[in-house]
Amino acid sequence: MEYFTLMQPQNLKPPGPTKHFWRLLRSFSKDPLTFLAEAHQTYGDISYFKLGPMKTFLICDPDAIESVLVKHHRCFTKDMVTMSISNFAG
């Protein structure tokens, strides 16, 4: 299955947590791994949420990850934080 096509048209987003910004940020900052694991369990292999101004997609399916990172990498951009740590994190 080609997961990249699931995001078309651009105004469609996968399901994800819809808590108020501060609650979502608090949950994430308190225990990021638990937050991400619960989002995966609740919303499936691809979910979307906003952490402040950052639009975040959580992708857990290996085929979808390959689609984003290998097949369609030019269609996606990294945020400033990710770009700034890419020399260390890869």
**pLDDT for 80 beyond 90:** no
* pLDDT on residue 48: 92
Q: Any bridge partners for residue 62, and if so which?
A: none
Prediction pTM value = 0.70
Half-sphere exposure in the Cβ direction for 68 (13 Å, CA): 15
**pLDDT for 9 beyond 70:** no
pLDDT in tens, 28-79: 889 999 999 999 999 999 999 988 777 888 999 999 989 888 888 778 777 7
